[in-house]
Amino acid sequence: LLIQLLCYQGATVWLPDPDAVWVSGLLLQDYSPVEKHLLLELSDGREARYPVGSPSDLPPLANPDILEGENDLTALSFLHEPAVLHNLRVRFLDYSSIYTYCGIVLVAINPYEQLPIYGEEVIDAYSGQDAADMEPHIFSVAEEAYRTMTRSENNQSIIISGESGSGKTVSAKFTMRYFAVVGGASQQTTVEERVLASNPIMESIGNAKTTRNDNSSRFGKYIEIGFGRNGDIIGANMRTYLLEKSRVVFQASAERNYHIFYQLCASRALPEMRSLKLDAPERFRYTSRGGEMHIPGTDDLLDLERTCNALTVLGVLPDQRTELFRILAAVLHLGNVDIQASGRTSERSYIDADDRALAVFSKLLGVEGPQVAHWLCHRRLAVGGEALVKPVSGQQALEARDALAKHIYGQLFTWTVRRLNSALRAHREPARSFIGVLDIYGFETFDRNSFEQFCINYANEKLQQQFNRHVFHLEQEEYVREELSWSRIEFSDNQQCLNLLEGQLGVFDLLDEECRMPKGSDESWVLKLYDQHLSSKRHPHFQKPRMSNGAFVILHFADAVQYECDGFLGKNRDTVFEELVNVLKASQVGTWNQVGFNLDRSIGSGRRFRRSLQMLMDALDGTTPHYVRCIKPNDLKEAFTFDPRRTVQQLRACGVLETIRISAAGFPSRWTYEEFFSRYRLLLRGLRGQEHAGASCRQALPGLIPDPDQYCFGKTKVFFRAGQVALLERLRAERLRVAAVIAQSRVRGWLARIRHSRIRRATVTVQRYCRGAAARRLALTLRYTKAALVIQKTHRMVVVRQMFLTLRQAAVTIQAFTRGTSARFRYRLLVAERAAVLLQARVRAWLARRTYRRVRAAVVFTQCCARRRAARRALMKLKTELTHTHTHTQTRTQELAMFTVPLLRSLSLSLSLRGADLRADGALPLPPGLPASVLFLCVRQADCSGDQTHARAKYRCYSCPLPTSPLTLPRSPSVPALLESENITGLSGSAGKPGPSRKRAGSDPRAAAVGGDARTMSAVLRELGALHAALSRQDLPPALMEQAFSQLSYLISASAFNSLLLRKDMCCWSRGMQIRYNVSLLEEWLRGRGLQAGGAAAALEHLIQAVQLLQAGKKSDRDAQALVQSCTALSSQQIVKILTLYTPQSDLEERVSLNFIRTVQVPCYHTHFLPYSLIAFLPCSLPALLPYSLPTPKGGGQSVIVNSNK
């Protein structure tokens, strides 16, 4: 019924499209149940007819324009797939915002471009803030987890998931960097450095290039970061899951092996790497199968240096690092071992004794080469209690070689993780609480899915179940907190699918049973699956493909996936011959023994993965989870390119749409009574004021929404089901339309009367002017006739005169030509005569200069000889004076030693004279500046006495160096007061756009620390006044006073400016008026105390310009030009960010159009040459200028000292 009411002419709906997934259409007529088609106008201008069989077939409705670009998807009035996809597209492409909330989930879209939003100044801006007030960001999730942990000491977890190339690893890296900065005070300690140093190591040995991502993580990672009682990082622990070991021996086309192999090959020319016998990656089988040797924009040699530095930070010794590289190089050489088949049917195989790769492999690992060659081509079997050695075929030997390589790399990867955990373990104290960061594969589906995809999707099923239960639990808590009588919300529980995978006689159970069979095979295993889940009782989540008997289909929560059974048993067994492992255990490499090559055949890979996953789920169940879903916008890795088909596929796979469905099942739209009353006051006629908003809403809503099941009244909020806010918006728009029609009719009548009066007066005026024009036309005709006679007379005279002038000009031209020819001939004769005279003068001058140079050379030679003899005489004289000076210096040294002995005796005597100091608590308050005056007199007396040693000692005692370490300033309530204090009455009540409050219970860290009065400008000004009075009592010089308040004004202004850039609710016209008024109060306070001249007022300039930008017009090109010329203190990035965040607070305003933003952006890049930074750098300190002035001469009698201090 609701959708039928909202399907009226002019409404926007969404239609399915094969290319864009969803396209918008405008209804050209109202919906009628009788009509079987909807007449629509598509976004490209075409008309279309959409078939509608019943009201349930109506297309999804679009949200109001005021909700476009909302930073929380659950705030949308209509919660469905097209609305979510459109909102993400608008934020990503139009506003360049890669982060969007979806309830408790943060959706992060990979921009494939470096953005300046991860600096320390951004971390400082998010630190200590409430996530509901800030723009969506990965730092807001990290801050919420960190603050919740420090307040309640409950363990937290951040679950980051998404498919390869979506930015999971980068998000996890920035999360750990945030914890390292916030939990490590002003400087990173050793623990924080080690936590961050683990990233390049794990990327080297666990990341590889794929077709979807140049730095794809090929394993799951869960890091628990431990925090002490003060909130600082004291240790960490890492767990890994499902390493893709098959990549070591095989890579698909256009892919690479793990980065560490290419880094070693790139450094083969280094002296410490020559013993590894490495070559170019094209020469090794394990690094050349994918055909990709290099990644554009990546330097493997530089990456290896970064990895070595990280190993050093984590305490790995150079010898251990070298042995680690030896094992990795041995894996590469093992892949080059050439195994050849022999025999008629190739049932045997052998390795040449002089195989170079085998020799290098054996030397690097310190094992016997013949033993390795033998057991690669043979296998030991136990038959009837006897051990038989059986040769294997060439294909089996190749499989054994690859299995050995995978086993070595897997064990080495496990040892590296253990070594990292040992370095990251807390040693100072046990961790009070921890925050876990989970970086794991998202849901995967390819053309051919195998055992790896099966395990990944199983893990995502477990995580989705945990997510569903957590979301449902939060919904229950919200309803209980608001004292609602609610019915149980239905949500999709995937327990049936999990029972199919992990239950008794499930997929994993039958797989382990088949692996225990001596002749088990993939084909027999899949037949057992068919018999178990299709024959006896058909499982709703299991299907058999129509055209295949070697595959099965699992209906996961995200999509149906077809798995090929080929290779399941082999990958689950993870088979490697025990004889080869025994050969490796005899290695002489020291690190080899620490790696520990234990061969556990008791359980398969699947069961081992299930156990580790269950441990992970138990750990996550004991934490408060926070979710980040990473989205890959396109497969071409192009910056800010949005592919709707790929995006919607990932939204379905990562559970974002499931979150929307759960929210839509209950009451997704939630308003406080004050917000609802402010927005829909015009619908609530004859009711009480703002102070009785709750009673007014309870009284008016039954008349607006007849169905009581569509809304519910809570303790502090009113709850609506999906679509009800859109209905209220339509009623509000209709009420505004009727009022507008009445106002227009009155105005149009008044305008018509005014127009009639003006026309009447204009008619009389036109008639008067017409009669006057006729009379003037007659007079003008007579005047023209007389003028024609004058013109004819003048014309005849001009023709005759022109002929005379032409003849006279011809005669003058002939005379001039004749005279010119004669003059030019005389001129050429004079030039030739002048050139001859000049040539003679130049020759005579050259002869004279040659004679002069010869004479000067002879004179210089004579002078040099005379000066050489004089220099020799001076040198002899200086040597004699040097000898005399050495003798005099020795004599003065002996005299100084004799003079020092009495001084030392007098010094020892003075140390024996001691007295009792006066008690400090008995002294009366000193006059300002008295201690400085007394100390200055003491220094002057020592200086006048002539004893420089004593004077320098006094100066050192009375002076101390200033501290150079940065001070951590406590957070001041001045920023909330400057931004949120409402000193102008009447502006706060403006109706805001519809959207639920994202404030979570107990999530605001400022509520406990900041009182009600601390958020007002009067309280801030009182604090500044107290500080000014304290400094004045100490006789601080005016110049230093001005500089101190200039620095303080900069810190207040920069903090407020940063919060303004990161809070969308602050970027509106009314809030700009409030902030500008608050800033003017601060400016008036500075002027009243004469502090504006020292730069304090200038420090507020960028905040003032930002507020003016909110208040200025934003429509025409003239407005854009005015903004560029006035906002000179803002960078182009800051101007664009404020315009993007600007949010209209009423229907009378319009959004800032993208064309206007682009119009402002182009001239800003050419005129605003400011640093490429989004927000102001808070730790910045302004240069201090210490004025130098001679002290006033002051004798001891002029200093007033009370008797108790004498």
Pairing state between β 207-208 and 711-713: unpaired
Considering just the CA atoms, what is the radius of gyration of the chain in Å?
44
The arithmetic mean of pLDDT across residues 134-158, rounded, is 92
Co-location of 950 and 1085 in the same domain: no
Co-location of 461 and 551 in the same domain: yes
pLDDT, tens digit, 9 for 90 and up, residues 429-485: 788 899 999 988 878 888 888 998 899 899 989 988 888 888 777 777 787 888 876
What angle do helix axes 1101-1111 and 1069-1088 make, rounded to 10 degrees? 150
673/655 Cα distance (integer angstroms): 32
How buried is residue 410: exposed, middle or buried, by Cβ count under 10 Å (0-12/13-18/19+)? Answer: middle
pLDDT, tens digit, 9 for 90 and up, residues 937-946: 777 777 777 6
Q: By C-alpha distance, which of 1171, 1163, 1097 is closest to 1134?
A: 1171
Residue 176 falls within a domain, yes or no? no
Q: Give the three-state DSSP class for 244.
A: coil
What does the buried/exposed string (b/e) look like for 482-510 if buried means 16 or more CB atoms within 10 Å of the residue's CB? Answer: bebeeeeeebeebeebbebbbeeebbbbb
244/455 Cα distance (integer angstroms): 11
Residue 121 falls within a domain, yes or no? no
Taking a C-beta distance cutoff of 8 angstroms, is the pair 362, 584 a contact?
no
819/1174 Cα distance (integer angstroms): 79
Tally of domains in the chain: 4
What is the residue type of 844? R
Co-location of 994 and 949 in the same domain: no
pLDDT, tens digit, 9 for 90 and up, residues 559-618: 899 999 998 988 888 777 788 888 888 776 656 666 655 555 556 788 888 988 999 999
pTM: 0.73
Residue 154 falls within a domain, yes or no? no
In degrees and rounded to multiples of 5, residue 533 shows phi and psi of -110, 0
436/145 Cα distance (integer angstroms): 10
For residue 26, the enclosing domain spans 1-62
Active site residues: 164-165, 169, 213, 216-217, 442, 444
Taking a C-beta distance cutoff of 8 angstroms, is the pair 530, 583 a contact?
no
pLDDT band at 965 (very low <50, low <70, confident <90, very high): very low
The CATH number of the domain holding residue 480 is 1.20.58.530
Co-location of 937 and 980 in the same domain: no
Pairing state between β 433-441 and 156-162: parallel
Residue 769 falls within a domain, yes or no? no
The arithmetic mean of pLDDT across residues 937-959, rounded, is 70
Co-location of 942 and 993 in the same domain: no
Predicted pLDDT of residue 1019: 87
Co-location of 978 and 1102 in the same domain: yes
pLDDT band at 690 (very low <50, low <70, confident <90, very high): low
pLDDT, tens digit, 9 for 90 and up, residues 1081-1098: 888 998 888 887 777 888
Task: Characterise 209 by phi-psi region: left (phi > 0), alpha (psi -120 to 50), beta (else).
Answer: beta
What angle do helix axes 190-206 and 168-182 make, rounded to 10 degrees? 170
660/314 Cα distance (integer angstroms): 43
Co-location of 1000 and 953 in the same domain: no
Co-location of 937 and 1033 in the same domain: no
Across 320-367, the runs of DSSP E, i.e. the strands, are 340-342, 348-350
pLDDT band at 990 (very low <50, low <70, confident <90, very high): very low
- The token pair at 708 is 């009581």
pLDDT band at 1066 (very low <50, low <70, confident <90, very high): confident
Co-location of 937 and 1060 in the same domain: no
What is the residue type of 638? E
The 3 state secondary structure assigned to 470-496 is HHHHHHHHHHHHCCCCCCCCCCCCCHH
90/70 Cα distance (integer angstroms): 9
167/634 Cα distance (integer angstroms): 12
pLDDT, tens digit, 9 for 90 and up, residues 227-267: 888 888 888 899 998 888 889 999 988 899 999 999 999 99
Q: Which residues have a Cβ under 8 Å from the Cβ of 85 and sit 6 or more positions away?
A: 21, 22, 644, 647, 648, 651
The arithmetic mean of pLDDT across residues 100-113, rounded, is 91
* Percent helix, strand and coil across the chain, each to the nearest 5: 55, 10, 30
Check the annotation: does 169 bind a ligand.
Answer: yes
- The token pair at 71 is 């930073």
In degrees and rounded to multiples of 5, residue 1106 shows phi and psi of -65, -40
1037/676 Cα distance (integer angstroms): 55
Of 696-705, 1145-1154, 1172-1181, which one has max mean pLDDT? 696-705
Q: By C-alpha distance, which of 439, 50, 469, 470 is closest to 207?
A: 439
Co-location of 934 and 1022 in the same domain: no
Taking a C-beta distance cutoff of 8 angstroms, is the pair 258, 244 a contact?
no
Check the annotation: does 168 bind a ligand.
Answer: yes
Predicted pLDDT of residue 971: 54
Q: Give the three-state DSSP class for 626.
A: strand
Whole-number average pLDDT of the chain: 82
Residue 362 falls within a domain, yes or no? no
Predicted pLDDT of residue 331: 95
The CATH number of the domain holding residue 43 is 2.30.30.40
When mean pLDDT is compared across 181-185, 396-400, 874-878, the lowest value belongs to 181-185
**H or E stretch at 414:** helix 394-424
Taking a C-beta distance cutoff of 8 angstroms, is the pair 1010, 964 a contact?
no
Predicted pLDDT of residue 966: 42
664/102 Cα distance (integer angstroms): 12
Co-location of 1048 and 1109 in the same domain: yes
Of 82-91, 336-345, 883-892, which one has max mean pLDDT? 82-91
303/323 Cα distance (integer angstroms): 19
Q: By C-alpha distance, which of 983, 1093, 1113 is closest to 1041?
A: 1093
Residue 981 falls within a domain, yes or no? yes
How buried is residue 264: exposed, middle or buried, by Cβ count under 10 Å (0-12/13-18/19+)? Answer: buried
Predicted pLDDT of residue 555: 92
When mean pLDDT is compared across 197-206, 652-661, 806-815, 1018-1027, the lowest value belongs to 652-661
pLDDT band at 627 (very low <50, low <70, confident <90, very high): very high
User: Which residue has better confidence, 1001 or 525?
Assistant: 525
800/182 Cα distance (integer angstroms): 101
Predicted pLDDT of residue 1002: 42
The 3 state secondary structure assigned to 853-890 is HHHHHHHHHHHHHHHHHHHHHHHHHHHHHHHHHHHHHH
Check the annotation: does 162 bind a ligand.
Answer: yes
Q: By C-alpha distance, which of 120, 84, 116 is closest to 100?
A: 84
Predicted pLDDT of residue 570: 84
Predicted pLDDT of residue 204: 94
Predicted pLDDT of residue 918: 53
Check the annotation: does 165 bind a ligand.
Answer: yes
pLDDT, tens digit, 9 for 90 and up, residues 291-319: 888 998 899 999 999 999 999 988 888 88
Taking a C-beta distance cutoff of 8 angstroms, is the pair 1069, 1138 a contact?
no
DSSP alpha helix (H) spans, 542-643: 568-573, 578-585, 590-595, 605-621
What is the chain's length? 1206
Check the annotation: does 166 bind a ligand.
Answer: yes
Model confidence at 387: pLDDT above 80: no
Residue 217 falls within a domain, yes or no? no
Co-location of 1026 and 1158 in the same domain: yes
Residue 415 falls within a domain, yes or no? no
Taking a C-beta distance cutoff of 8 angstroms, is the pair 452, 242 a contact?
yes
What angle do helix axes 168-182 and 138-152 make, rounded to 10 degrees? 50
The residues facing 561 across adjacent strands are 554
Which residue among 62, 83, 111 closes a domain?
62
Predicted pLDDT of residue 229: 84
Model confidence at 155: pLDDT above 90: yes
178/138 Cα distance (integer angstroms): 9
User: Which residue has better confidence, 1035 or 94?
Assistant: 94
